[in-house]
Structure 1
């Protein structure tokens, strides 16, 4: 091993792990400390039992997150300095050619990770979600989804991985640029085909029925100048009682999708306000900005990998004596989250700013008080805590805290 890089990796690893665990423990303590009383701004709208349910749900999920974090950290060490990747390399390298070897290595890691995560996923779904009244999934549906996801991952992932590995080996010094171009095109293709070809494999999508709700929504779309390929209701209730709405796809393939659980809970005017918020993301070009950011970040990461892939110290420092494109790709994406964790607040900041902008857009094109009522119902129905730890929220929350978000909407109604 290369002692200097090994020590640097271990130092950053311990620092990141400690920070993640500390933030989660802070969150648990903060939520528990505010469990006894509903925040004053919500006292007239959310009952104490509902507030306490949200606190208990948040604490349970956070405790599970601590366990998952420790499992992931242990797996990372086992695969790198513990010799796991070196063992897999020794097992596959003498049996397969270069491209099949790379595919086997990556799928082996995905299989190991999936098997480790399986009992954790079962516990989340059938213990935590069930304990708090959210689970509607059966074991049969859970494993049917798992089989579909696995087969879909193999059908799509295998040719993509082979293409990436081939480009890495065949395109010379600037392979990372060719891989980036391929990755961008692949992601745009997935965005286009997902609504029509992938999502229906897991859920049923029915056209929104005629009535007041559809009339209001169509009028909103005209006011906002938004054209879509249809309004659909998704049978989210067969898996969970959580509610949501979103639009997906791009170009002429955009769809607006409502969870049936959301429509069952909100009034037509509240649904209109929620959709106005989602349209705000489109009109403010948040989706385009996120795609551009993702592409720019992936270009930077692939360039960095291009600088490391022939560096012996990078492999040796992480416990892998061999050097090849597949191992370089695997090692890089295994360890990069350890080094990029301090950037999490930056990503969360821009996401929360987009949410505020979408709320402001909704207040201009719908009734802000209706959006406020809808959000309060969604916070209650989804058991979202009203009292997150501020520092934990800074790192992890893509949406602003409830109190800040609703305070801004109330100002818009004055």
Structure 2
């Protein structure tokens, strides 16, 4: 580990640079609450709501800053005190194969990371979210969700990780094989998740026969969008925040509405929200995002392959040999700046897609119902009414409410 090692410099600058960039973006975003809102937003957000949203954003930002500072401090101390070298020597004594050791090392570090983040997650859920009326999760549900998440990660991620390590250990074209495997896994999970995995956390029930079900199915038929099921999701067991999504491929599309969404919105607003979601499919946004994601993962695996072949890369973290599993962990540190840059492109495309889906919903149902629904969602979720451009650029997959309303009015 030396300042003459370019991998060391890249990792250090990347980690510290991203940390400070997030701090700058956070303070600029919070400062926006001191600025007067445009008239369009004043008609939506009362002074009381803006004050409450500012307090909510401030508390959430403080917790995020504390979380990221603690995470960075632990990582830097572990790194500079020779922790990765110690982990290399300790895991080498397990007597396992290189692939088994790699999976074990990554699993151990992920478990430690989950344990360290647990107090912050609990504070967020039971203090901040509860204080502002969002949390409905019990302690039992909170614990069960995390246990289920860890088990699913082990059952699904463990074999996939072992296969990736095997590719990089034995195959000349490891980048291609890994890329194809991860692409196939992602596509399968997109189909499996709403049917088999999400029901482990959320309860899906068919929407009862009645005017709402008939209206939603009639809208889907009018828009030539095949639907086989309309479900209600018991999101209210965990949060008062509302959501809706579509899943499935081909002629097996499924509509899922959170019960909190049905509870707070009119039938016309729900139709407009559904039309927006259908707009994503009609405008081919899903395959576009999939292609972009595959291109990003291909670049990542190419860079990973280059790093795993470099002795200097491992030396930057005080690791003398070239263990595959630990190499993947170390690469995630170096890759973080590139990941942010690629994420900017994905988020920008996503925001553009949201405008297009809004336009589709406007053509299908008119602008007023969708605008009314968006206003309710923003106020109910205490969304930032006028976020700073840097925060939008870095993190927003959806345009701010003011931009969406302006586009719909236009």
Aligned twin of 2:63: 64
CA–CA distance in 2 between the matches of 1:44 and 1:65?
Answer: 30
Aligned twin of 1:231: 230
CA–CA distance in 2 between the matches of 1:134 and 1:265?
Answer: 14
Partners of 1:168 and 1:175 within 8 A in 2: yes
1:342 Cα deviation after fit: 4.1
Aligned twin of 2:165: 165
Secondary structure of the 1:384 match is coil
1:50 Cα deviation after fit: 2.1
Secondary structure of the 2:227 match is coil
Q: Is 82-91 or 206-215 further displaced after alignment?
A: 82-91
Aligned twin of 2:270: 271
Please report the TM-score for the alignment, with normalisation by the length of structure 1.
Answer: 0.94
Q: Is 1:110 aligned to residue 110 of structure 2? A: yes
Deviations 1:351-384 (A, max 9, x none): 1111101100111111211000000000011111
CA–CA distance in 1 between the matches of 2:407 and 2:401?
Answer: 10
CA–CA distance in 1 between the matches of 2:407 and 2:108?
Answer: 49
Q: Is 349-358 or 244-253 further displaced after alignment?
A: 244-253
Instruction: List alignment gaps of at least 5 residues for structure 2.
Output: none
Secondary structure of the 1:229 match is strand
Q: Is 1:142 aligned to residue 142 of structure 2? A: yes
Q: Is 383-392 or 334-343 further displaced after alignment?
A: 334-343
Please report the TM-score for the alignment, with normalisation by the length of structure 2.
Answer: 0.95
Partners of 1:235 and 1:260 within 8 A in 2: yes
Partners of 2:292 and 2:346 within 8 A in 1: no
CA–CA distance in 2 between the matches of 1:178 and 1:106?
Answer: 21
Correspondence list, 1:9-408, <5 A: 9-31=11-33, 33-34=34-35, 39-95=38-94, 96-172=96-172, 174-408=173-407
CA–CA distance in 1 between the matches of 2:112 and 2:294?
Answer: 28
Partners of 1:80 and 1:320 within 8 A in 2: no
Q: Measured at CA, do residues 161 and 196 of structure 1 come closer, stay the same or move farther in structure 2, by a change above 3 Å? A: same
Partners of 2:136 and 2:237 within 8 A in 1: yes
CA–CA distance in 1 between the matches of 2:370 and 2:165?
Answer: 48
Deviations 1:98-154 (A, max 9, x none): 121111101011011001100010011001101111000110110011111111111
Partners of 2:296 and 2:342 within 8 A in 1: no
1:160 Cα deviation after fit: 1.2
Secondary structure of the 1:156 match is helix
Secondary structure of the 1:225 match is coil
Q: Is 316-325 or 226-235 further displaced after alignment?
A: 316-325
Q: Is 286-295 or 161-170 further displaced after alignment?
A: 161-170
CA–CA distance in 2 between the matches of 1:148 and 1:246?
Answer: 22
Q: Measured at CA, do residues 83 and 225 of structure 1 come closer, stay the same or move farther in structure 2, by a change above 3 Å? A: farther
CA–CA distance in 1 between the matches of 2:252 and 2:153?
Answer: 23
Q: Measured at CA, do residues 282 and 104 of structure 1 come closer, stay the same or move farther in structure 2, by a change above 3 Å? A: same
Deviations 1:48-70 (A, max 9, x none): 22222222212221222212221
Instruction: List alignment gaps of at least 5 residues for structure 1.
Output: none
Deviations 1:77-102 (A, max 9, x none): 24544433222222211112212111
Tell me how large the CA RMSD over aligned residues is. 1.7
Q: Is 50-59 or 21-30 further displaced after alignment?
A: 50-59
1:253 Cα deviation after fit: 4.3
Work out the number of aligned pairs and report it: 407
